Amino acid sequence: MASSSCWRCLLRPQTYASRPSAFLPSTGTTASPFLSRAVTPAIPFSTSSPYNAAKAPAKGGNISRVQAGPPRRGQKSLRIKKKSPVKATTRPPAPGERKAARKRIVLSNTNAVEVQGLKELSPETMVDAQNHGQVLGIPGPVVDQLRAVEAFKTTQAWKLFRQPSTLQTKQSLDLAQQVAKVTDGENGKRTFLRKILTGDKASGKSVLLLQAMAMAFLKGWVVISIPDAQELTIAHTAYSPLRNTEPKQYVQKAYMSELLSRTLRANQPVLNGLQLSQEHPGMPVPLQSNMTLARLAELGAKDADLAWPAFQALWTELSAAPANAPARPPVMLAIDNLAHVMRNSAYRDADFNLIHAHDLAIVNHFVKHLSGEKTLPQGGAIVAATSASNTPLTPTMTLALRQIEARAAGTPEKDLPQPSAWEPVDERVKQVFAARGGIDVHTLSKVSREEARGLLEYYAASGLLRAAVNDSLVAEKWILAGGGIVGELERGAVTMRV
């Protein structure tokens, strides 16, 4: 420890003043009122004494003993080097590179074995009951379309397999038949399906939604998809009020332009074949009369200010029935993580009140079609999936879904599930489900043993499950997967245990 005391005499410097002058060094600079000579105190001990010695002025004639000689305690002293900051030798990640790595969707693993005799999803195979319990590959062009609408999620294990493939369960078979039925129409008239997919965690809701979209693409529909409703309501994208709306609606320009861009990429071949047939006074820019719908969508995708009017114009065109032009195809509206739009959003209005998600223009568009308030004359479907992992509490929607399910099961009105007295009721959400019936709530069931067997055989054929698929293995994996929860089956067979 450095001390201010003199280590020779162990006295503190201030005591020099009271000492007789005989003890003091002969040279000094401090003047004192009662001493005959000026006093120079001893240099206090410190680790920097060699520096002091070196820096002392050499000239002036009056050099003290300490300054002239070598340092008393020798040349060696503790020198702590300051650590210089570590210089990065590699290039740091570019802006956005980290996020891109996090969000990257990998759809093929070249190490995985190509499954021999894997059938592909097609308009014929998707409705064929023979394929129940089998895995069907998704054809390449459809994979590109599904990627464009962001139907694949990072949490799903697509990256382990050679080709994206899905299991034909009983429910996907039913859905395929409905899609085919809507496309064909009854008595020259098409219907508009309204479906909500719910179920346990990892029961395959998002994958069934993906299958629905794949089937729609195969049947030549136009698909408009909101891959995650959360992005619309957590106030991460810009919003602005829309003129001439009552109650006030808000439009998210940047998101709309993104949505149009995704829709365009996914539906390019269909939209290229369709032309304008209506007048669009709402568009701020003049439109060519023979413009294709793809070009219209591109206008909105390129210019965020045009995105909302372009979307409205596109929707008007898609729902029109032109006299002297090819008939418009059915349209599928898909939305995942539905609960996020069945509550207040994180946006604020001018009075700093929370904006209800139904007041966001694009959400309103989807919700109107879900409730049946608006419909498409040429048919189509809206398919909404709930999520069980990242989902807010929406008691009103949960109750409404349970009531619809109970009604479908034949429960009399008086025995329907009742609202809790302690939970607030969201009237706007209640209205969506109560206004008109006809919403089909589809609770995903667990896969059967036969379906699980088909899936495990696919895993084994891909080289990812290194075991013989026999009854005992199927029984073991099926039981360990909670009796056929398909996501847990995948986790138990492929992802977690290697």
Partner 1 sequence: MPPRLSLLPLGRPLTILSRPIAAPTARPTIALASASVRSQNLCRGFADDKKAPVDDVPPKVGPNMDHLPHVSEEAAALGRITGEGGPELEQGTPIQEILERDQDGLKKAPKVLKDQVEPPSGPKGTRSFSTSTRRSAALTTAVEDPTVVNLEGSKFGIPEFPLPTENLLKQRYDPVVKQFTNLLMWDGKLSKAQQDMSRILSIIRTAPTPSINPARPLLPSAPPPSHLPLNPVLYLTLAIDSVAPLLRIKSMKGAAGGGVALQLPNPLNLRQRRRKAITWILEAASKRKSRGSGSGQFAQRVADEVIAVMEGRSAVWDRRNALHKLAITSRANLSFYNRRR
Residues contributing to the site for partner 1 (CB under 8 A):
88, 90, 93, 97-99, 101-102, 106, 109-113, 159-160, 449, 463-464, 466, 470-472, 475, 483, 495-496, 498
Tell me how far, at minimum, the Cβ of 91 lies from partner 1, in Å: 10
Of 50 and 483, the one with the shorter C-beta distance to partner 1 is 483
Tell me how far, at minimum, the Cβ of 460 lies from partner 1, in Å: 12
Of 243 and 466, the one with the shorter C-beta distance to partner 1 is 466
Query: SS in 3 state form for 267-278?
Result: HHHHHHCCECCC
Whose tokens are 């003043």? That residue is 17
Of 93 and 247, the one with the shorter C-beta distance to partner 1 is 93
Interior angle at CA 139, CA 136 and CA 144, nearest 5: 130
Tell me how far, at minimum, the Cβ of 471 lies from partner 1, in Å: 5
Of 339 and 481, the one with the shorter C-beta distance to partner 1 is 481
Tell me how far, at minimum, the Cβ of 116 lies from partner 1, in Å: 16
Bridge partners, residue 135, by sequence: 167
Tell me how far, at minimum, the Cβ of 109 lies from partner 1, in Å: 5
Tell me how far, at minimum, the Cβ of 132 lies from partner 1, in Å: 16
- Count Cβ atoms within 10 A of the Cβ of residue 392 and give its class: 0-12 exposed, 13-18 middle, 19 or more buried: middle
Of 353 and 390, the one with the shorter C-beta distance to partner 1 is 390
Cβ atoms of 121 and 137 closer than 8 Å: yes
Of 85 and 188, the one with the shorter C-beta distance to partner 1 is 85
Tell me how far, at minimum, the Cβ of 152 lies from partner 1, in Å: 15
Between the alpha carbon of residue 428 and those of residues 234, 303, 383, the distances in Å are 19, 32, 20
3-state SS assignment for residue 489 = helix
Q: Output Rg (C-alpha) for the chain, integer angstroms.
A: 38
What angle do helix axes 253-272 and 140-148 make, rounded to 10 degrees?
160
Rounded CA separation 396/405 (Å): 14
Tell me how far, at minimum, the Cβ of 112 lies from partner 1, in Å: 7
Residues sharing a CB contact under 8 Å with residue 477, sequence separation 6 or more, in sequence order: 452, 456, 489, 492, 493
Q: What are phi and psi of 273, to 5 degrees?
A: -90, 0
Of 160 and 341, the one with the shorter C-beta distance to partner 1 is 160
Q: What are phi and psi of 155, to 5 degrees?
A: -80, -10
Of 109 and 237, the one with the shorter C-beta distance to partner 1 is 109
Comparing CA positions, the residue from 194, 179, 190 lying closest to residue 377 is: 190
Tell me how far, at minimum, the Cβ of 442 lies from partner 1, in Å: 22
Tell me how far, at minimum, the Cβ of 1 lies from partner 1, in Å: 30
Of 80 and 496, the one with the shorter C-beta distance to partner 1 is 496
How far from chain centre, in Å, is Cα 401? 25
Rounded CA separation 148/125 (Å): 24
Of 36 and 116, the one with the shorter C-beta distance to partner 1 is 116
Q: What letters, b where the CB count within 10 A reaches 16 and e where it falls short, cover 32-46?
A: eeebeeebbebbebe
Comparing CA positions, the residue from 297, 326, 291 lying closest to residue 310 is: 297
